[in-house]
Amino acid sequence: MKIGILSRNPSLYSTQRLVEAAQARGHETKVLDVLRCYMNITSHAPSIHYKGEELKDFDAVIPRIGASVTFYGTAVLRQFEMMGVYPLNESVAITRARDKLRSLQLLARKGIGLPITGFAHAPDDVQDLIKMVGGAPLVIKLLEGTQGIGVVLAETQQAAESVIEAFMGLKVNILVQEYIREAQGADIRCLVIGDKVVAAMKRQAKEGEFRSNLHRGGNASLIRITPEERSTATRAAKIMGLNVAGVDILRSNHGPVVMEVNSSPGLEGIESTTGKDIASLMIDLIEKNAALGKTRTRGQG
């Protein structure tokens, strides 16, 4: 097969591993900088050009689209779908997962466990917003933030009011969430491929930090997840419509709660922690499912 990998940086670990895994199984690969793709949007012969040449005869495409280029990246992916190319994750699913508010509302509608969450732009009563999620300590997040950026833990009522008012002054949308104290700065990253959790790791925040992101100094270790956690992760990925997803779960006193569903989970941390060949499992999913025009949405939405 001929597989395109939409990645702005061919030297990234995840991109290199996908290239290696695909080539090891005899497939041809081409890494494409999504921002350098340009499209001819027409009814009967949609096409994508790259560096002066038309991209032809691709069987599948793997989107590794960064959050900062979601709009253009999903437009390019949608064009591939219009051309009948099989996407490992579909454009609609990626757009859905990248919208924090939309994804939380969809998960809540289907009964997935979530932290108590408030959403606001310019609330008239900040104290009522804080009370709504159970009071301080609480977590305040920029709706557009990624990788732990724009996430603040407010430990007191006064601090919470000050941070919320500061964000309001910037005219930004915010999420206010209960702080799951019992998680003790740890979360679980479940890697879902197809309808299975193929790997899981515990990410522990460094001393004095509540964000467990590995690039913020957190450390990762193997963990055995419960059947409830496994079910929560696979259901969350399915609700988003993602074939491949990193589902971040906290262990709370009232069961597993989903923090986020990531449509382009990094491979380095999970592969090095678990010793599993995640990249090859992703290629295996493509081999089993890639067929001309085999997308659920066929580029709609």
Alpha-carbon span 286 to 289, nearest angstrom: 5
Q: Establish whether 54 is an annotated binding residue.
A: no
Q: Establish whether 260 is an annotated binding residue.
A: yes
Query: Pairing relation of β-strands 219-222 and 196-204?
Result: antiparallel
Residue with token string 């309001």: 168
Residue with token string 């193929």: 198
Write out the DSSP string of 169-223: HTT--EEEEE--GGGTTEEEEEEEETTEEEEEEEEEPPTT-----GGGT-EEEE-
Q: Establish whether 253 is an annotated binding residue.
A: no
Q: Establish whether 72 is an annotated binding residue.
A: no
Task: List CB contacts of 172: < 8 A, sequence separation 6 or more.
Answer: 121, 142, 143, 144
Alpha-carbon span 39 to 82, nearest angstrom: 11
Q: Establish whether 289 is an annotated binding residue.
A: no
Q: Establish whether 59 is an annotated binding residue.
A: no
Alpha-carbon span 274 to 223, nearest angstrom: 9
**Dihedral of alpha carbons 272, 273, 277, 283, sign:** negative
Contact 60, 3 (CB under 8 A): yes
Say whether the peptide bond before residue 137 is cis (omega within 30 degrees of 0): yes
Annotation: binding site for Mn(2+): 248, 260, 262
> Binding site: what residues are annotated?
141, 178-179, 187, 211-213, 248, 260, 262
* Binding-site positions for Mg(2+): 248, 260, 262
Q: Which residues belong to the annotated binding site for ATP?
A: 141, 178-179, 187, 211-213
